[in-house]
């Protein structure tokens, strides 16, 4: 593995990033969990306690998979390029018409073509989906990767259904489509613990000297036409069989006590110890990995978050240490967190700074000083690029700026009521268990003293402890004076007091200046549990 490699986290449309930044045949393993209903997937990333959702998120994702000019252009590009995927997409268009499902399949087809391009000949791809579209997606995968490179339709079964249904059977599984680039693809068989009932039934013997459980395996050869393996065993017993092993190997195992005669008159059998077995083979039915419940320590609040055990199985099966793992719909970063823990290199891509901020927090919480170098790409690095982001997409500018102050977005504009709050920062500064709140406003345009006065009013109305005003432009002297008149927040104990309203510029944040508040324990994002990296193999 090259010591110069830096793991990469990209913000932006994965189609553009794949085309501009990821080289041909450079990736060993791809896992993707693309949203079908983008509203349901993303707009609840930061749901407020009252159940409302961010209008900014809805605006950012509402048109992701709708049939519009973008999906139409993607459809024409794929169809005009020719090949099997062109024929399939044309047929699907005739069958489905121009609706959200067709938009979804079109947007997936054009991205899957790029994913095939970047995948090494020894690489594998796992596409995670639900039964709503899995049958269509398998056809698309066949067209892009070839039916010959299909390996499995994995069923991930939940212990509990997604919801109760009264006109059909409840849905209790997801589908993971497993394809490879070629017959040379990497694959390591995975195992899981034996079922206790299986152990009781088959490993029913216990070694009196060691207490080890074992079973007796048949040593007879199913091929009866093997003269070189036909002999009497044990010698002098009169028992002649076609054995699986040569006479020399059989004799050695007999002397070691591994071949035994279970009962008088019975045929020799092999003593197979339970503790020498790797476990039961993992099949294409995965019912041993539970989905994340609300109380699970691993759960970060991301609505489609997958358990790390699921990604661990995939990564260990289809990659080696030092290989590159790519997740083009990175979400809250489960894939890259597991790749980091298992000593893989990684590339993560997501369309929103919400997810990028969550991934950054997760990586640092999980690995601390053990975290390998990574680079956030397409993130503004100076005031000019920050201004360009604000002009291109104000909502994404707000997400990004909130990330600079470790804030999470909140907005009730969906219901038409602008409360004057773009985000919140939460922290603990005592042992009471009561978190404290800083409300945040983000401004990319003209700023005035009145905005600070309004923010002070919002802070008092919301009973917030402090307020932060983040601005792309330089604040005026009257603004600073208005902020100073709000006074100070006095933390408990001997901690120093800090200004109640603080104005900070994007330029200052890019120069690593921070808001002043007690940082005993930030609580904005749910903290990912600290992890220990796996021992290198």
| Length reported for the chain | 537
Phi/psi for 254 (5° steps) reads: -65, -45
pLDDT on residue 51: 41
Long-range contacts of 513-517 (CB under 8 A, 24+ apart): 514/405, 515/405, 515/425, 515/438, 515/468, 517/425, 517/427, 517/429, 517/436, 517/438, 517/466, 517/489
Report DSSP state, residue 370: G
Distance from C-alpha of 415 to C-alpha of 55, rounded to nearest angstrom: 8
Per residue, the 3-state secondary structure of 415-460, as one string, reads HCCCCCCCEEEEEECCCCCCCEEEEEEEECCCCCHHHHHHHHHHHH
Q: CA distances (Å), 320 to each of 247, 251, 474, 523, in order?
A: 39, 39, 50, 36
Structure tokens at 486: 């709000």
Q: CA distances (Å), 415 to each of 39, 53, 418, in order?
A: 16, 9, 8
Q: What is the CA radius of gyration of the chain?
A: 30
Distance from C-alpha of 16 to C-alpha of 24, rounded to nearest angstrom: 14
Residue 21 has pLDDT above 70, yes or no: yes
Alpha helices in 170-290 (DSSP H): 196-202, 247-255
Name which of 324, 299, 322 is nearest 118 in CA terms: 324
Name which of 414, 413, 409 is nearest 397 in CA terms: 409
Q: Set out the domains of the chain in order of their start, with CATH numbers.
A: 7-46+119-188+282-377 (3.40.50.150), 192-276 (no CATH), 383-522 (3.40.1350.10)
Structure tokens at 145: 């990767």
Residue 49 has pLDDT above 70, yes or no: no
Distance from C-alpha of 501 to C-alpha of 456, rounded to nearest angstrom: 7
Which residues partner with 347 through β-bridges?
Answer: 8, 326
Residue 45 has pLDDT above 50, yes or no: no
3-state secondary structure (DSSP) of residue 99: coil
Task: Give the mean pLDDT of 482-497.
Answer: 90
Structure tokens at 395: 């909502």
- In 3-state terms, the chain is what percent helix, strand and coil (to 5)? 35, 20, 45
Task: Give the mean pLDDT of 153-178.
Answer: 85
Q: What is the percent of the chain with per-residue pLDDT over 90, rounded to a whole number?
A: 58
| Residues 7 and 372: beta-carbon distance below 8 Å | yes
Name which of 70, 182, 175, 71 is nearest 116 in CA terms: 182
pLDDT on residue 303: 67
Q: For the residues of 166-179, what is the DSSP string, one character each?
A: SSSPPP-EEEEEEE
pLDDT on residue 390: 87
Candidate ranges 155-159, 367-371, 425-429, 453-457; pick with highest mean pLDDT: 453-457
pLDDT on residue 332: 83
How would you label 169-190 residue by residue, b for 16+ Cβ within 10 Å and e otherwise? eeebbbbbbbbbbeeebbeeeb
Task: Give the mean pLDDT of 350-373.
Answer: 84
Least confident of 243-257, 329-343, 352-366: 352-366
Total-model pTM: 0.77
Comparing 55 with 406, the larger pLDDT belongs to 406
Task: Give the mean pLDDT of 292-300.
Answer: 72
| Residues 33 and 304: beta-carbon distance below 8 Å | yes
What lies within 8 Å, CB to CB, of 276 at 6+ separation is: none
Distance from C-alpha of 96 to C-alpha of 129, rounded to nearest angstrom: 19
Alpha helices in 166-270 (DSSP H): 196-202, 247-255
Residue 345 has pLDDT above 90, yes or no: yes
pLDDT on residue 302: 66
Q: What is the percent of the chain with per-residue pLDDT over 70, rounded to a whole number?
A: 89
- pLDDT single digits (tens) 519-536: 766 666 666 777 777 777
Residue 413 has pLDDT above 60, yes or no: no
Distance from C-alpha of 405 to C-alpha of 519, rounded to nearest angstrom: 12
pLDDT on residue 226: 92
Task: Give the mean pLDDT of 147-161.
Answer: 90
Measure the CA angle with vertex 35, ends 30 and 39; round to 5°: 155
3-state secondary structure (DSSP) of residue 462: coil
Residue 282 has pLDDT above 50, yes or no: yes
What lies within 8 Å, CB to CB, of 225 at 6+ separation is: none
Distance from C-alpha of 200 to C-alpha of 162, rounded to nearest angstrom: 33
Least confident of 96-100, 202-206, 339-343, 377-381: 377-381
3-state secondary structure (DSSP) of residue 345: strand
| Residues 113 and 78: beta-carbon distance below 8 Å | yes
What lies within 8 Å, CB to CB, of 82 at 6+ separation is: none
């Amino acid at each position: 593995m090259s010591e110069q490699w830096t793991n990469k986290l990209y913000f932006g449309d994965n189609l553009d990033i794949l085309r501009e930044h990821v080289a041909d045949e450079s990736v060993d393993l791809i896992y993707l969990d693309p949203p079908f209903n983008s509203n349901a997937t993303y707009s609840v990333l930061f749901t407020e306690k009252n159940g409302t959702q961010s209008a900014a998120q809805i605006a950012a994702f509402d048109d992701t998979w709708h049939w519009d000019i973008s999906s139409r252009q993607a459809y024409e590009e794929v169809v005009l390029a020719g090949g099997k995927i062109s024929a399939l997409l044309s047929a699907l268009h005739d069958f489905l018409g121009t609706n959200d499902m067709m938009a979804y399949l079109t947007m997936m087809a054009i991205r899957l073509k790029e994913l095939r391009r970047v995948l090494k000949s020894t690489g594998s791809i796992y596409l995670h989906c639900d039964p709503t579209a899995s049958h269509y997606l398998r056809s698309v995968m066949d067209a892009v990767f070839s039916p010959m490179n299909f390996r499995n339709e994995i069923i991930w079964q939940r212990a509990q259904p997604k919801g109760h249904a009264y006109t059909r059977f409840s849905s209790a599984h997801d589908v993971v489509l497993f394809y490879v680039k070629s017959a040379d693809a990497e694959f390591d068989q995975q195992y899981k613990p034996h079922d206790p009932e299986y152990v009781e039934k088959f490993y029913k013997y216990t070694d009196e000297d060691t207490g080890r459980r074992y079973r007796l395996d048949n040593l007879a050869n199913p091929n009866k036409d093997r003269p070189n393996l036909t002999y009497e065993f044990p010698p002098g017993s009169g028992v002649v069989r076609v054995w699986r092993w040569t006479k020399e190997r059989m004799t050695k195992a007999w002397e070691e006590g591994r071949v035994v005669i279970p009962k008088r008159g019975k045929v020799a059998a092999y003593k197979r110890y339970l503790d020498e077995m790797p476990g039961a083979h993992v099949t294409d039915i995965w019912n041993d990995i539970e989905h994340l419940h609300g109380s699970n320590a691993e759960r970060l609040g991301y609505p489609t978050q997958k358990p790390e055990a699921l990604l661990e199985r995939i990564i260990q099966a289809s990659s080696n240490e030092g290989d590159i793992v790519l997740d083009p719909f990175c979400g809250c970063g489960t894939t890259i967190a597991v790749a980091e823990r298992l000593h893989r290199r990684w590339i993560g891509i997501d369309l929103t700074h919400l997810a990028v901020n969550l991934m950054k927090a997760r990586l640092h919480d999980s690995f601390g000083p053990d975290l390998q170098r990574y680079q956030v790409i397409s993130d503004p690095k100076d005031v000019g690029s920050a201004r360009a982001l604000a002009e291109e997409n104000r909502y994404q500018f707000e997400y990004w700026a909130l990330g600079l102050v470790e804030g999470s977005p909140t907005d009730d504009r969906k219901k038409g009521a602008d409360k004057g709050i773009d985000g919140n920062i939460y922290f603990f500064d005592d042992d009471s268990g009561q978190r404290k709140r800083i409300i945040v406003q983000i401004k990319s345009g003209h700023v005035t003293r009145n905005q600070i006065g309004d923010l002070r009013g919002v802070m008092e109305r919301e009973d917030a402890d402090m307020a932060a005003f983040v601005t792309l432009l330089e604040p005026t002297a009257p603004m600073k004076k208005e902020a100073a008149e709000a006074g100070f927040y006095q933390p408990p104990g001997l901690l120093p007091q800090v200004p109640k309203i603080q104005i900070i510029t994007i330029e200052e944040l890019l120069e690593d200046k921070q808001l002043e508040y007690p940082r005993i324990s930030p609580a904005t994002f749910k903290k990912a549990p600290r992890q220990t990296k796996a021992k290198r193999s």
